[in-house]
Structure 1
């Protein structure tokens, strides 16, 4: 999947990009930064982990959600997703429940065989294995962001990721779970923007990489 992202950059005519990934997307972004360093201007790994056993573990409280029957209707899918995010979502931030409902409805109609998609994601995460040694190869400016109440991926996963990459900035957000509550956006956005600015300071200005970065 990291190679797929590189293929997308090729198709778009973009030589390098600032790469941000969350959860399994964070794993993909990590692999991309390690294996394709010339294509990654900076890396932001959010609510993710290294794959090392015992790090970033999922709470047993989520088992009933992970192994529940798949939804047969849009309403069932929405109700299931709202219950899930009531569990994995942030404890200290208000959730945008209407956005959860909207996104779930779109996802349900896009992929009616969504339960098989969950199985493929689980297999992909397991197949990735321990990437600690691979992460040590990353040279791009990196920020690792995690929440203290993440039940899907314990923040020990973020700590392990930060420890594996040289010169990383680690941002731990109190009360944030495995979601993106609007009130946490300013902290997340500022951390990502600050990480990209390291490159700008090193080069004396923003790199203009096929429109990926500019003076703004």
Structure 2
């Protein structure tokens, strides 16, 4: 893994595949490290012909933390007072933009999951020249009437963090048992290994709380999404308990010519059994870039 300066902070990142291949930037979600994009999935995407980049968002993993900002009070946030929020989604989008620039990349295909989808949308809005294609997975527009979590999902998301390794892993297991895809459950061993690896690499729960504050404090993107002109694929689990499928549907409705794939039995995770679906869908969306260019050339030529 490597580290670079971007947007005034430092971001930890890792790459897969041929550096000369088209770049594919993977943006992970709330409280998740780059490990959320499992190495096997990254390798499959690299094998499909991409230079894959995964990274830790600010306040996650090994990237810059904002501990001086403290832990936000959710009660205050839900009352509409955002004065104490240290950053918003637009800042995380600027981080992604800065990472591409730091790596010498003029543009990339961008894939975001959950909060990462929100960041990817914001990146496409703010820096359309840097986004070749957009894939928004299990995410939403920020509109208040779509993408609501179930009470159980919200409960595990906002539960107190563990006080030591074992209690933190136990909390992680409870969380993923609620959020995981009902048709593709993990074994106890798989979940324990995944949660344990994340804890051992970087356990900073206050960062997750600040990221959640960034989501709450950020405005609805719907009207700005309507102005996008980038090939877009939306993927959402029909059984997603954290971001209701209405969030994905609203995203696809807002972005012109966006394609929507609703996956039966998929919750709020990226199970191994669906990796082939994700890779095929992402690749197909990137090919729309060439198709759009060819259509534009034909139009210019009067064909």
RMSD between aligned residues:
1.5
CA distance in 2, matches of 1:200, 1:95: 37
**Which protein is richer in helix relative to its size?**
1
CA distance in 2, matches of 1:186, 1:64: 31
The structural deviation recorded for 1:104 is: 2.2
CA distance in 1, matches of 2:204, 2:96: 24
Which structure 1 residue ranges, 4+ long, deviate > 3 Å from structure 2? 96-100, 109-113
CA distance in 1, matches of 2:288, 2:187: 32
CA distance in 1, matches of 2:111, 2:228: 14
CA distance in 2, matches of 1:87, 1:16: 36
1:93 equivalent in alignment to 2:184: yes
| Consecutive unaligned residues in structure 1, runs of 5 or more | 205-216
The structural deviation recorded for 1:96 is: 5.5
State the match for 1:201 in structure 2. 291
Task: Tell me the SS of whatever aligns to 2:136.
Answer: strand
Given that 2:154 and 2:242 are in contact with CA atoms closer than 8 Å, whether structure 1 keeps it comes out as no
State the match for 2:26 in structure 1. none
State the match for 1:53 in structure 2. 144
Moved more, 135-144 or 104-113: 104-113
Equivalent residue for 2:158, pick from 67, 80, 87: 67
1:11 equivalent in alignment to 2:140: no
Equivalent residue for 1:179, pick from 263, 266, 269: 269
Name which structure has the greater RCO, CA cutoff 8 Å, separation 6+. 1
CA distance in 2, matches of 1:69, 1:166: 40
State the match for 2:44 in structure 1. none
1:27 equivalent in alignment to 2:113: no
The structural deviation recorded for 1:80 is: 1.3
State the match for 1:208 in structure 2. none
| Consecutive unaligned residues in structure 2, runs of 5 or more | 1-91, 295-303
Moved more, 71-80 or 30-39: 71-80
Given that 1:94 and 1:183 are in contact with CA atoms closer than 8 Å, whether structure 2 keeps it comes out as no
1:103 equivalent in alignment to 2:194: yes
The structural deviation recorded for 1:199 is: 1.2
Equivalent residue for 1:156, pick from 239, 246, 249: 246
1:192 equivalent in alignment to 2:282: yes
The structural deviation recorded for 1:98 is: 4.0
Given that 2:141 and 2:222 are in contact with CA atoms closer than 8 Å, whether structure 1 keeps it comes out as yes
Cα distance, 1:36–1:70 mapped onto 2, change above 3 Å:
same
**Which protein is richer in strand relative to its size?**
2
CA distance in 1, matches of 2:280, 2:197: 29
CA distance in 2, matches of 1:88, 1:81: 10
CA distance in 1, matches of 2:217, 2:253: 22
State the match for 1:170 in structure 2. 260
Given that 2:157 and 2:175 are in contact with CA atoms closer than 8 Å, whether structure 1 keeps it comes out as no
Q: TM-score, normalised by structure 1?
A: 0.88
Given that 1:95 and 1:182 are in contact with CA atoms closer than 8 Å, whether structure 2 keeps it comes out as no
